[in-house]
Amino acid sequence: MLGSADLAADLGLELTLAETELAYPRARLAMASAAAGIEAPIDAVHLDVRDPEGMRVSTRRGSALGFSAKACIHPDQVGIANDEHTPNIATVDRAREVVEIARAMAESVSGVGIAPDGAFVDRPVIMRAQQILARARRMEEAERNG
């Protein structure tokens, strides 16, 4: 997990709404996690608990770099983090389509496929689709279990 307040204190810098000071540490942590073969890390907290839009933007920034979750310091932040990290219906449908293409590819000799929209489908695309479906299943299960 990225500890933004701790990092800011260690480096003697101020955390800003733009979060430019977190761009490198976020990217570095996400890359190191991927290189180590572990699931993407948990993103830093958004310190302003009265700023739901800032929380949403911050969560999207971390997600865009590969973070799989967002640390929360207030119950009001949990729903926002879950919303932003839960794949939407279109993303899940696309992932299912890719997995179906992968099944067809397994029966062919080429090892590559083309989606109906013309997008190239190969091993990394299939792996990402599988990750999306796994995340969607985990989020659905967590919601059912309250």
* pLDDT greater than 70 at residue 110: no
Which tens digit of pLDDT belongs to each residue from 58-86?
999 999 998 989 999 999 999 999 999 99
Structure tokens at 82: 């879950």
Q: Is 118 helix (H, G, I), strand (E, B) or coil?
A: coil
Which DSSP helix (H) or strand (E) runs through 108? Answer: none
Mean pLDDT (the chain) is 90
pTM for the complete prediction?
0.76
Q: Where are the domains of the chain?
A: 4-85, 89-145
Strand extents, DSSP E, the chain: 42-43, 69-70, 113-114, 120-121
Hey, how many other C-beta atoms are within 10 angstroms of the C-beta on 25? 16
Q: Which CATH architecture has domain 4-85?
A: Alpha-Beta Barrel (3.20)
